[in-house]
């Protein structure tokens, strides 16, 4: 038997079980190290940037019931930076900007996680520095209390 190793994805199957490219065994039959780089049911976002910006990704880990499909690469965004767990904080980012259909100031508001709003906040300040028509940028943490009865 081979040294313990991570299951290597392949398109080979035996009796309905996917086989490891490195050792030719099924997941259960081959001394595979379980990859647990992501916790189940958790949203992960890129640590380097906004998940909705070009060239970056975010992932919902889901139930992760198929160990053969997990890999150490799961912990990284497509840009190569490690994922971070999305925080559960809620922040409101608001600002005013000109346009896009007229030359009046329009209020814009976004409620999202700390990671997302802080990243966008930094982006807005950068745009202001570059001379974009943006003003009154405000970032406030919201206290959301759950009502149960």
One of 37, 43, 56, 114 touching Zn ion (CB under 5 A): 56
Nearer to Zn ion, 56 or 118 (CB): 56
38 lies in the site for Zn ion, by CB under 5 A: no
Stretch that binds Zn ion, among 11-19, 23-31, 62-70, 117-125 (CB under 5 A): 23-31
Which DSSP symbol is given to 143?
Answer: -
Helices (H) and strands (E) in the chain, counts: 1, 10
Compute the distance between CA of residue 59 and CA of residue 69 in angstroms, rounded to an integer. Answer: 14
Give the end-to-end CA distance of the chain in Å, rounded to a whole number. 57
CB of 115 to Zn ion, least distance (A): 12
| Shortest CB 23 distance to Zn ion, Å | 3
Torsion of CA 115, 121, 126, 131, to 10 degrees: 160
Rule CB under 5 A: choose which of 37, 58, 75, 79 binds Zn ion: 79
Residues that bind Zn ion (CB under 5 A): 20, 22-23, 30, 46, 48, 56, 77, 79, 81
């Amino acid at each position: 038997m081979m040294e313990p190793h991570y299951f290597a994805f392949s398109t080979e199957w035996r009796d309905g079980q996917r086989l490891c490219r490195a050792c030719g065994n099924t997941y259960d039959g081959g001394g595979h190290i379980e990859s647990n780089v992501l916790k189940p049911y958790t949203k992960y976002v890129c640590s380097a940037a906004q998940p909705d910006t070009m060239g970056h990704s975010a992932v919902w880990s889901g139930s992760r019931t198929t160990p053969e499909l997990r890999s150490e690469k799961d912990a990284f965004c497509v840009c190569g930076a490690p994922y971070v767990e999305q925080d559960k904080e809620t922040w409101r980012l608001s600002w005013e900007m000109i346009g896009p259909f007229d030359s009046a100031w329009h209020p814009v508001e976004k409620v999202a996680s700390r990671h997302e709003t802080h990243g966008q906040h930094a982006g807005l300040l950068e745009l202001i520095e570059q001379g974009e028509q943006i003003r009154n940028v405000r970032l406030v943490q919201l206290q959301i209390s759950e009502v149960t009865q």
